Amino acid sequence: MPSPNTNLNINHPTSFPIQHFTLQTRITAIAKATSTHKLIRERLLTLKNDFKDCLTDLFLEALEREQNRVNRVLGDFATELKKVEGELEALEREEATRVGMKGKEARRRYT
């Protein structure tokens, strides 16, 4: 069983902490996958350049196709990262507005 996340406030009046944690986790996963795919792309390029004379045309074509696939995946990751970061910003803005309004209500009650 995984250890409980001590940063996650389950007594929060909204689902903000859970959504925030989920989006942060997605950003971390995308960043890790991106760095892995960049390493794969680099290795494919190294293989293609260093052994160009030794490899058959079919193998070079397969390397080229794989490089194109990795580049498409990296593009998809970049798009997804921007989307998730936008969702996170919107969520944080919404929470800041909620907290600000709650503060205004409290000040009105006590003044």
Q: Supply 9's token pair.
A: 């406030």
Cβ neighbours of 25 (radius 10 Å): 12
Taking a C-beta distance cutoff of 8 angstroms, is the pair 41, 74 a contact?
A: yes
From 22-36, 40-54, 61-75, 94-108, the region with the lowest mean pLDDT:
94-108
Taking a C-beta distance cutoff of 8 angstroms, is the pair 45, 67 a contact?
A: yes
- How far is 111 from 106, CA to CA, in rounded Å? 9
Whole-structure pTM value: 0.75
The predicted-structure confidence for 61-100, as pLDDT tens digits, reads as follows 999 999 999 999 999 999 999 999 999 999 999 888 888 8
From 1-5, 12-16, 48-52, 77-81, the region with the lowest mean pLDDT:
1-5
What are the extents of the domains in the chain? Answer: 23-110
* pLDDT score for 96: 86
